[in-house]
Amino acid sequence: MENLRIAVAQYDIGFFEHWSGYADKLEQWVNDAAGQGAQLLVFPEYGSMELASLFGEVIYSDLSKQLDAMQAIYPDWQALHLALAKRFDLLILGASYPVQQEDGSYLNRATLFGPDGVIGSQDKLVMTRFENEQWLISAGDKIRVFDTKFGKIAINICYDSEFPLIARQQVEAGADLILVPSCTDTQAGFHRVRLGCQARALENQCFVVQSPTFGVAAWSEAVDINTGRASVYTPVDYGFPDNGILVEGNTDQPGWVYADLDLREIARIRQEGQVFNYRDWPRQYDLKVE
C-alpha cells in the first residue's frame, strides 16, 4: 500500500461540435492533474453526457435518443481513457456512462482505468426517480471492490452512497477508499449525497471522495443544471478534521481538488480511535425493538 495523491473533479459540462474538442478537454484535465502529482483522478456521474452534444439538437434534446446515439462512441471513449491512463501512468475513474446491454436496457456504469488496462466497472445499484421514471436507466445488481497498487477501492455512484449496506459490504471486503461520482441539480441533492458520504466515512472509518458535475448546460435535456462541491471526507477522530471534511472545492468555478491520503491511517484509527464505529457495527444486529 502506498500514499495516494488524489485529484477530485468539480467537472463542468461542455458542448462540442467535434470529437477532437472533447478529447482535447479531457487530455487537458488529465494533464493538469498529472502535473500536480495526482495518482488517482475521479470524474463525476454522467459527466459523459456532454458527448450528446456531438449528435445535434434532435438527439441531445431527447432523453431516449441520446442514450442510443452515445453507444456508437463508447469504444472511442474507453480507448481515450485507456490511452491517457497509460500515457500519464495513473488511475482514472471515468465519468459514468450509460451503457446499453444485450436486452436493450441501459446501465449507469463507472469504469476505473489503469496504465495496464481496465481495472473494473461498477454499475449504479439504486436508481433515482428521474432515472427510473423518465430516463429509464436500469439498476445493476453486483457490488464490486477493485484491487489496485494503492489497496482496495470501491465505488458508490451518487444515490448509492445513501444506502449504508452497499458501502459496508465493500469495506468488509477490504476497501478503505470509496469513490462517489455524483450528479445533482439542487443544493438539497448535493447535500443528500454529501451527508451519505460523510455517514459512510464515519460508520466505516474510511475515506470517501465525492466528484460532482458542475455548472449550467442549458442545451442538455439530461444534465442541464449541476450543483455540488468536490470533496474528500474522513473519519471524525484523532488525526482527522473535526468536521470530517479534509478538503472541498468552491462554488465559483470548475476544477480539480487535491488531497494526499495515507491509507495506513484507516487501520490506525480503527485500532486507536476515540470510538470504534467499524468494529462496533455488528452490535446493531443484536438489538431488537420491544
For position 281, what pLDDT does the model report?
A: 97
* Closest C-alpha to 139, from 147, 130, 131: 131
Give me the CATH code for the 4-286 domain, please. Answer: 3.60.110.10
Q: pLDDT value at position 228? A: 94
Give the pLDDT score at 2.
64
Grid coordinates representing 171 are: 469495506
pLDDT of residue 109: 98
Q: List per-block mean pLDDT (blocks of 10 residues) for the chain, which spans 290 residues.
A: 89 97 98 98 98 96 95 98 98 98 96 98 97 95 97 98 98 98 96 98 98 95 94 97 96 93 96 97 94
- Out of 124, 131, 206, 248, which one is annotated catalytic? 124
Residue 232, pLDDT score: 98
Query: 65 catalytic, yes or no?
Result: no
142 is catalytic: no
The domain locations on the chain are 4-286
Residue 216 grid cell: 449550467
Secondary structure of 37-73 in HEC code, one letter for each residue: CCCEEECCCCHHHHHHHHHCHHHHCCHHHHHHHHHHH
2, 25, 27, 45: the catalytic one is: 45
pLDDT of residue 3: 87
In whole angstroms, give the CA distance from residue 143 to residue 169: 8
The rounded distance, in Å, linking the Cα atoms of 139 and 98 is 11
Q: Is 288 annotated in the active site?
A: no
Catalytic residue among 158, 183, 197, 206: 158
